[in-house]
Amino acid sequence: MTGGFYTPLRTRASEIAASQGTPSFYRVFKRELQESLRRLQESVILKQCISHIDIVREGMGHGYKHSKAVAVDAGALVMIEGRRMVISEAIIEKLIITAHISGLLHDIKRGNENHAVAGSKEAKRILVCSGIDNRCKRYIAVAIRNHEAFKTVVPPEDEYGRLISNVLYDADKFRWGQENFTKTVWDMLEFGNIAPEVFLENYRKGIDYIEHIKETFRTETGKRYGPGIIDLGLEIGKVIYSELKEILGR
């Protein structure tokens, strides 16, 4: 049993994050993020999607809080990228809802083998009677299928589908920054009752994986701001790694 072993390290990680401040993406695009959150909270369809998020995944660090954060960032990215692409406001509005649903449902099969593929199929089933038009349903299914890193990407059917796929991916990978090292990793360790020695053994590999995430962002906004978000997380991770080794006498 790990008990409260990780509590001081989690606290330390949060202290480092607080000293770093807010990543620039969240400062520069504060208005878009606030607008995305407002729309998310007011949508009836999105409330229906939330009901499909299993409470068990909350303990795994990939429940409602994670999915909501991904959805909000994905919606904001649609506004930013959509205007850069000179997409009409009417279409952007529709794509924001599509991105929100993709974000909320992207991890509904987390814990399953090939969870992105399984989640894509489950999203199709959930959305059958949702009132969402068929094209947007396809955008959502493909985006969920494509949200894992270092996997073969299924080509979206058009530029709007590509936008949804890309904003979901980038919004999900933003979570690998500060959020990963202050929240997600600790939730997963406690949920899985992972021994500190096992955690340390796999830590270096995990850091290397996240380092490579920096090279995979897909939207122009993600490519510009994503690596900085990841670097802040890695800064925390490296300190925690050093302190964990010291605690374990390694």
Cβ contact 172:225 at 8 Å: no
Nearest CA to 224 among 163, 174, 184?
174
What angle is formed at CA 188 by the lines to CA 2 and CA 230, rounded to 5 degrees?
125
Top pLDDT among 1 and 25 is at 25
40-66 as b/e: b if 16+ CB within 10 A: beebeebebbeeebbeebbebbbbbeb
Which structural domains are found in the chain, ordered by start?
7-247 (1.10.3210.10)
* Chain segment 114-146, per-residue pLDDT in tens: 899 998 998 888 887 777 899 999 999 999 999
User: Looking up tokens 């794509």, which residue turns up?
Assistant: 95
Distance CA 121, CA 161 (A): 17
pTM over 0.85: yes
- Confidence class for position 56, pLDDT limits 50, 70, 90: very low
Q: What is the DSSP string of 178-203?
A: HHIIIIIHHHHHHHHT--HHHHHHHH
